[in-house]
Chain A
Amino acid sequence: MNTTSEMRMGAADRRRYNLFWFSSPQTFFPLAGRLAPWFAIAAAVLCVAALYVGFLKAPTDAQQGESYRIIFIHVPAAWMSMFLYVIVAFWSAIGLIFNTRLSGMMANAVAPTGAMFTFVALWTGALWGKPTWGAWWVWDARLTSELILLFLYFGYMALHAAIEDPRRADKAAGILAMVGVVNVPIIYFSVKWWNTLHQGASVSLTRAPTMAATMLIGMLLMALGFWMYSIATTLWRARCIVLERERNSDWVADYVRDQR
């Protein structure tokens, strides 16, 4: 809580409901610190519940036996990898449109988590593919486009790291993220557009799911748990980025002094 440093705003601003109150690093920092532990707890609870459902409650698959259970990690991780890339592109767009510092910091905070989930999706997919398809990897449309997504994440992080001025780095990497977002629909629709080895969509927003209810519940719980985890790590990572970038400001000096 940064009650030690005064925020110099007029009384009128404070009373009026301001949608952009938390869009400055100084106000966002304590909010993130307060919220992140709750998301982390929610993530832990949901992930444990999902693993319980997945390993102990869900029935054995008729065709694949027990090896299908990796779906409870593979599919939510893949969903998160695509969703988080769209989030990176979203915050980059906001940063470029409104010229805000914090949006670029948020995009930077989300990217490593997204890259991690992409890697997990690819890795668990390979582990699943070996017993079921007989191959660790095939070059079908969905796997190839997910691999390209991983490269796009790496490209985003590499470009940002290569440019010294953080604001310029945010903008350049943001442009790259927005150019790459065209890949996400390709991944999503690849199983519909091409004849692929990867299984088609069993879960849809419009039709009833074609899998057992327990399996679906397990997957959704895990997806929610991963989402809470992503928010928690993003908020913590964003706090670190805010401290680094705003290190020359008074409120950071006060905060660091109070921590000692």
Chain B
Amino acid sequence: MNGMLQTLGVVVYRDLLLAFRRRSDLANTVLFFVLVVSMFPFGVGPEPNLLRAVAPGVLWVAALLASMLALSRMFAGDHADGTLEQMVMSSVPLSVVVFGKVTAHWLVTGVPLVILAPVLALQFDVPTSAYGTLMLSLVLGTPVLSLIGGIGAALTLGVRGSGVLTALLVLPLYVPVLILGAGAVDGAAAGLDVTAHLLLMGALLVFAMVFSLWPVAAALRVALE
């Protein structure tokens, strides 16, 4: 147990270190999020009531897309220089390594989205009652996006045209999180009680943590054989 936790720490630390050496990658995700959210008022018009109504969905979809675009970074770098093979061949359970990588991905892409979302919600005049729920739903939802996205990233490792293919594989699996997350923010903006949504998202998070690590590990072994 101690060994596994130590491995987890090492993997997370290494991935964060590598990510911070290329800070532009972090900035790209955040900038993408901001840009996409800002596109919508241009598209649907600046009418405040309409923007207030679409804000939860827009924020959630943009967060989802931003998290998804960064998925290739999870395994591609290590796959290219052979580190991934070493990780797969080592005596450490591959699930632990995968969990570390997913955690690092979430820390790099999910957490900035959580922090930035209320600021962008200001643009849409979202009622202040919904800000807490917005952040909480993203905190519960973005790890699930990273976990499920890890499955897509591992399956398309080294495949031609993998960017769009990853999106095609992963977006249908993202739909439950999106429905619950956007629904929670929507309900909170209307002043309703959204405990049910948030509890279900918590359940999804636990479910994803338990059941998504094995497919990622299996997909990595398939990709490396």
Contact = CB atoms under 8 A, between A and B. Distances in A.
Interface of A: 96, 144, 148, 151-152, 154-155, 158-159, 162-163, 168, 171-172, 175-176, 178-180, 183
Given A144-B175, A178-B215, A179-B215, A158 B168 contact: yes
B225 interface: yes
B222 A175 contact: yes
B173 interface: yes
Contact of A159 (B156, B171, B173, B179): B156
Nearest to A161: B165
A179 B222 contact: no
B130 to A, nearest CB: 22
Closest 4 CB pairs of A and B: A151-B172, A171-B222, A155-B169, A148-B172
A162 B222 CA distance: 14
27 contacts: A144-B179, A148-B172, A148-B175, A151-B168, A151-B171, A151-B172, A154-B168, A155-B169, A155-B172, A158-B169, A159-B155, A159-B156, A159-B165, A163-B159, A171-B222, A172-B222, A175-B155, A175-B215, A175-B218, A176-B151, A176-B155, A176-B169, A178-B215, A179-B151, A179-B173, A179-B212, A180-B173
A152 B160 CA distance: 20
Contacts of A155: 168-169, 172
Q: How large is the interface on B (under 10, 10 to 19, 20 to 34, 35 or more residues)?
A: 20 to 34
A154 B169 CA distance: 8
A152 to B, nearest CB: 5
Nearest to B165: A162
B203 to A, nearest CB: 13
B169 to A, nearest CB: 5
B84 interface: no
B168 A172 contact: no
Given A159-B156, A168-B225, 7 more contacts: A96-B218, A152-B172, A155-B172, A171-B222, A172-B155, A179-B151, A179-B212
Contacts of B212: 179
A158 B165 contact: yes
A179 B173 CA distance: 9
B215 A172 contact: no
B219 A175 contact: yes
Nearest to A179: B215
